[in-house]
Amino acid sequence: MKNRVSIAVGMFAAGGLLLTACGSAPTLDEAWPEVRKNFEEAESLRINMEATGEEDDSSGTVDLAGATDDSHMKGAMDISMGGDPVNMEVLRLDGDAYLKVKSDGEDNAFTEMLGDKWLKMSASEAEGMGEFAMSSLVDQMVEDMPKSEHFEGHDIEAEEVEIDGEKYDKYVIPEDLLESEDAGDVYYVDRDDNTLFRVEGTKTEDGGQEAVVTFTDWNEVEAPEAPAEDEVMDQSELMNP
């Protein structure tokens, strides 16, 4: 009888744990400190940003994946250069930076000089390209994020949503708790590993566009391969032809 009672108690306890695990989502003040910490301490990630404006030529996308110690990064950006949409690929590896620019319209200065080749810059030459460094991007986002204790005392409940077959906790931030336009007003959190999946409502610097920023591949991004030598033109060749 004693063994049966022990087994029953054990099953009951296990059932209680299971129910707790499958229970309601944490409020944002409960989840946010760890979500922010995981962002700050990430070793690598992928960041995709889609910006939309009232005019088509003000829209653009950024898709970058790399390590936060800047040992590597690869991605692409659709930007407006002189009013013409331009697709730019960027790659960083072991301190060197590579750029490749393609134009959807007429050739620009880059494509006229480089054709379909990568422009290679050394670490010293790339120092002014902070916007193409994952560390700078992540540091700026962390600076814009609410502090760990920002939501304490506010019961911001989660709505469970499904995106591309995956479930996330969606938190809508009350207007009186918005620290800045850069912080966004809707957060999506992956409850399984307490990582931030998406932020909606962030504004660009000029205030004319809204952006949706999605974060994936946490701590799983591998270093890309460097372009082949015959696909690269060194910046020194352009400066000293």
pLDDT of residue 104: 60
Instruction: List, for residues 21-34, the tens digit of each pLDDT value.
Output: 345 789 999 999 99
Question: How much is the average pLDDT of 145-167?
Answer: 92
Instruction: List, for residues 87-132, the tens digit of each pLDDT value.
Output: 889 999 987 889 888 766 566 666 677 778 898 887 666 665 555 6
Radius of gyration of the chain (CA): 23
Question: How much is the average pLDDT of 156-183?
Answer: 86
Helix spans in 91-234 (H): 109-114, 134-144
Contacts of 44 (CB under 8 A, 6+ apart): 65, 66, 67, 68, 134, 217, 218, 219, 220, 221
Gap between the Cα atoms of 65 and 72, Å rounded: 9
